[in-house]
């Protein structure tokens, strides 16, 4: 069996994260990577403590579900919550 590339590995991680999505309309995952290390991950869904689409249905305006936030935003919020962004910025 051939070893997968780093790109394939991180994309697979994002696909796995998408399976945790709480929006039944669209399932998306995002992985933040630095120097071949996973820093954070997220999936589209409600903000922490918010109402989830899988519980009450999607709230669609202009063909977009506004009950959820993007997977990328959730990943960045995870970074902020655990102080990762500050550490990444200092080392740049």
Residue 50 domain boundaries: 6-87
Question: Is residue 1 assigned to a domain?
Answer: no
CA distance 19 to 30: 11
**Per residue of the chain (92 residues), what is the pLDDT tens digit?**
899 999 999 999 999 999 999 998 889 999 999 999 999 999 999 888 889 999 999 999 998 888 999 999 999 998 888 887 555 555 55
Here the CATH number for the domain that contains residue 41 is: 3.40.140.10
CA distance 73 to 47: 10
Question: Is residue 27 assigned to a domain?
Answer: yes
Beta-strand (E) ranges in 29-86? 29-34, 37-43, 60-61, 64-65
- Global pTM? 0.81
Question: What is the set of active-site residues?
Answer: 72
Question: Is residue 33 assigned to a domain?
Answer: yes
Query: In total, how many domains does the chain have?
Result: 1
Question: Is residue 92 assigned to a domain?
Answer: no
Question: Is residue 56 assigned to a domain?
Answer: yes
Question: Is residue 24 assigned to a domain?
Answer: yes
């Amino acid at each position: 069996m051939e070893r997968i590339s780093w790109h394939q590995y991180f994309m697979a991680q994002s696909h796995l994260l998408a399976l945790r999505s709480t929006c039944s309309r669209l399932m998306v995952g995002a992985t933040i990577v630095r120097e071949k290390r996973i820093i954070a991950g997220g999936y589209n869904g409600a903000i922490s403590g918010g109402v989830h689409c899988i519980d009450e249905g999607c709230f669609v305006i202009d063909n977009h579900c506004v009950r959820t936030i993007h997977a990328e935003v959730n990943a960045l919020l995870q970074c902020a919550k655990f102080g990762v962004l500050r550490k990444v910025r200092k080392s740049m």
